[in-house]
Amino acid sequence: MTKSSINQTWRDYQDIAQKGLWNNNQALVALLGLCPLLAVTNNSVNGLGLGLATMAVLMTSNILVSLIRHWVPSEIRIPVFIAIIAAAVTIIDMLMHAYFYTLHGILGIFIPLIVTNCAILARAESFASKNSLDKSIVDALFIGIGFTVVLVILGSLRELVGNGTLFDQAWLLFGETARGWTLHLSADYTPVLLAILPPGAFIGLGLLIALKNYADQKLKKPGLVNIPVEVQTSN
C-alpha cells in the first residue's frame, strides 16, 4: 500500500468516526432508536447496558452485511438484513440472560426490541451494504459509541436530578466489586421526580439536542455554510 493510500484510508476512518460520534449521531441528529433510548435511560447503568447491547448488535450486523454484500441480490437484501439482525439480537438477548441475569430483568423487553431499532437497519442498508469490511467495522464502532454516549449522558442526567445518585446499581454490569461505586449528592438533596418519569426523558433529550445544535453553531467558522447532514433513507 502506498503512503498516500494509507493516508486516504485514515482520512476515511476519521470522517466515519466524526459522522458517527457527532455529525450524524443516531440519537441526536438522525433521531433513530428513540423508543428504547427514552424508556431505559432512568439511570446511567441501564443506559450503558442497553448502549453496549445495541453496539454489539450493530457490530455483528455491519460485519455480516458487509461480508455478504456482493452476493445477495438486491431484491432480497432487506429480508436477509432483517434475518441477520434478528438472529444477532436474539443471541445477545440469550447471552445477557445467562451472564447478566438481573440487568437482563431490568432492561427486559428492550433487549429483544433492539431488532426494531431503526438505526441498525439504517446502518446495514445505507452503509455496510455499500462499503468494505474495515469501514463497516469502524462505522459500527463509532455509531455505537455515539449512541451509547448519549444513552449514558441522558441516563446520568436523569438519575442525578431525579434520584440524587450516579452509577447506582453499577454491580449489575460490573459485578460485586462495583457495589460501592454509587455516588450520592448531599443527603438533603430533594430529588426532582419528573426527571425519572417519562416526561423527563423527552425534556432531557430535547436539552441534549439543543446543546448539540448550540455547540455546532459556536463551532461553525464565520462565513462557512452549515455542515451537510447525511440524510437517512430508512426510518
Partner 1 sequence: MKPELKLKQTMLRAAGLLSLFVVISVALLMAINEFTQPKIAQAEQTALHQLLNQVMPASAYDNNLLEDTKTLIEPEYLGSHDPMMVYRARLNGEPAGLVIETVAPNGYNGEIRLIVGVFYDGRVAGVRVVSHRETPGLGDKIELRKDDWILGFEGKRLTEDNANRWAVKRDRGEFDQFTGATITPRAVVGAVRLTLDYVNRHTEELYD
Q: Which residues bind partner 1 (CB under 8 A)?
A: 42, 71-73, 75-76, 79-80, 83-84, 86-87, 90-91, 94-95, 97-99, 101-102, 162-163, 191, 193, 196-197
Q: Report the nearest approach of partner 1 to the CB of residue 80 (Å).
A: 5
Q: Report the nearest approach of partner 1 to the CB of residue 64 (Å).
A: 10
Sign of torsion, CA 141 146 151 157?
positive
Distance from C-alpha of 67 to C-alpha of 80, rounded to nearest angstrom:
13
Q: Which is nearer to partner 1, 191 or 212 (CB)?
A: 191
The residue behind cell 439511570 is 43
Q: Report the nearest approach of partner 1 to the CB of residue 159 (Å).
A: 11
Q: Report the nearest approach of partner 1 to the CB of residue 147 (Å).
A: 24
Q: Report the nearest approach of partner 1 to the CB of residue 51 (Å).
A: 21
Distance from C-alpha of 165 to C-alpha of 72, rounded to nearest angstrom:
49
Q: Which is nearer to partner 1, 89 or 137 (CB)?
A: 89
Distance from C-alpha of 17 to C-alpha of 36, rounded to nearest angstrom:
23
The residue behind cell 439536542 is 209
Q: Which is nearer to partner 1, 21 or 86 (CB)?
A: 86
Residue 232 CB: number of other CB atoms within 10 A? 18
Q: Which is nearer to partner 1, 17 or 203 (CB)?
A: 203
User: What CA dihedral angle connects 163, 25, 171 and 184, to 10 degrees?
Assistant: -30
Q: Which is nearer to partner 1, 73 or 228 (CB)?
A: 73
The residue behind cell 498516500 is 4
